[in-house]
Amino acid sequence: MSSAPASPQPARQPSSTQPPAEDPRGKGASSLYALGIQAQDIAGEIALAAELLDGDPENEATAISLIETYLEAQGHTHALIESKADNICRYVDHLAATAKFRKEQGRRLIELAEEDERRAQQLTDYMLKVLTTLFPDQPKFSLPTHELRSRRSEAVEIDDEDLIPDDMFRIRTSRSPDKTAIKAAIKAGQEIVGARLVSKTNWSIK
């Protein structure tokens, strides 16, 4: 007599002890992926308005109109307006994080480029040192895919600046308005032609 087929095993459930999947939003500006996830929850009108803030007067006027319409739509309660303003603040946070990420990557790329330039110069120097030692009277080298040429030049090298005579220095002068002194004078009641004291309200997003 044949035996009954074995009943299928239930699908294995993930262990409850496993750590939850990491939310990419928690990574801040550590990757482009995280920044992309961060922007997904933000209203499209805000992103479009931000893209239009490109320095073109017509585009900026459209951006301002979009922001006003987004905040001032008919029937909005005070709480809803504040909620939408908070959405704009979230997008400001996103732009700031993106800017920080790009600056950090830019600095990293500059450092890598400088390192590559240093290595290239050192390789060139070492190669030429060997070639000119082996062939001291040869002014150029015709290689299979490159040509090395030499030319004489003169340059001054400063060994100790403190020993250079005073008349051998080039003096550069510059001047700019002393805003601290101007502000103090205006607040004291003095009129400073060409300057004025402007009061501003400075906001910050926390």
Confidence (pLDDT) at 13: 44
Give the domain range for residue 78.
Answer: 24-151
115 phi-psi bin (left φ>0, alpha ψ -120 to 50, beta other): alpha
Closest by CA position to 38, among listed 95, 82, 78:
95
Residue 73 in any domain: the answer is yes
Q: What is the pLDDT of residues 128-172, one digit of tens each?
A: 999 999 998 888 999 999 999 988 888 888 999 999 988 898 888
Residue 6 in any domain: the answer is no
Query: Which element (helix H / strand E) includes 94?
Result: helix 78-134
Confidence (pLDDT) at 67: 86
Residue 128 in any domain: the answer is yes
Confidence (pLDDT) at 135: 93
Residue 36 in any domain: the answer is yes
Phi, psi of 196 (to 5 degrees): -150, 155
Confidence (pLDDT) at 98: 86
Q: CA 133 → CA 94, 136, 154, distances in Å? A: 58, 5, 21
Residue 189 in any domain: the answer is no
Q: Which residue has 């402007």 as its token pair? A: 198
DSSP state of 175: -
Closest by CA position to 46, among listed 28, 70, 73, 74:
70
Residue 35 in any domain: the answer is yes
Q: 3-state class of 130 per DSSP?
A: helix
Spans of the chain, pLDDT less than 50? 1-29
Residue 173 in any domain: the answer is no
The tally of domains found in the chain comes to 1
Confidence (pLDDT) at 19: 41
Residue 141 in any domain: the answer is yes
